[in-house]
Amino acid sequence: MRTVYVFLCLLLMCPLVLQAAFPIEVSRPLYVGARALGMGNAFTAVADDATAGFWNPAGLIQWQGVKLFGVNKFYNREDYRFDPKGVGYSYRGYSLFWGNKIAIGVDSGVPDFNYYGIARQFGPYLAAGLSLKFKRRHPSDVYQFFGYQTNYDIGLLFKPRPNLKFGCLAQNLEGFGIQWLTLGSAYRYDTYQLSVDVAFPTDRTTPEVYIGAEWDRFPIVPIRLGFSNGAFTAGIGIAWKGIHINYARIFEKPAASDFIGLAISLQ
């Protein structure tokens, strides 16, 4: 009960800031992964599944073997469609990643990004990662492995204790330099995991706040709640022998949206 109380207090302290445009229209990780979305998009320090190549490439080193995922927005697709997917491979402190996210039905056209990531573990506490992001042109008569615009993400993950992690994601979205700097923390207590992200834009002073919680008292059916910069989120999962099915809803404007994702782990 104490953990739930702290989580609710954090929600009340956060500013209710609504975004003017869908965050999926640029090469930021928001909405990627039904598990992350259910946790309020507070995933920079968690980043322990195949979506890490989007959220924090340094997190790719947190497992061994292959992980892949796909997400489908199955409700309220008349507002927009968003179906990211990816695959990551990790072996003895080295990791590789490929991912794609494409949005359809948004004002900016068809924002389509291919991600290619790499990560390296440095000792028992620190990891670093890099993702190159290639924006692809639409329409196109050929498959575009890369694209006409290249940007990058730099991620760091610091784990001073087994139940405490800190993450950092520096993002280049256009031109040169960093446009977004996201700092995250994740803390696990018993069967609860709490996470907080604060994203700082370099062109204005108001940060974005994301808060998430995951309760896996019964690991086969984890339950999630979150607060995504003004929008509440909720989610639930089903896990069985390396197969994870996750559902998430975000109460965004003008209407709520529902996502379902499939993640598979091969070791």
* DSSP code at position 109: B
The model's pTM: 0.89
Give SS3 for 242: coil
- Give the Cα separation of 266 and 68 in Å (integer): 9
> Which pLDDT score, from 0 to 100, does residue 107 have?
80
Task: List, for residues 1-18, the tens digit of each pLDDT value.
Answer: 454 444 444 443 444 333
Q: What is the CATH number of domain 2-266?
A: 2.40.160.60
Higher pLDDT, 145 or 210: 210
Chain-wide mean pLDDT for the chain? 90
Task: List, for residues 32-66, the tens digit of each pLDDT value.
Answer: 999 999 999 999 999 999 999 999 999 999 999 99
Average pLDDT over residues 91-101: 97
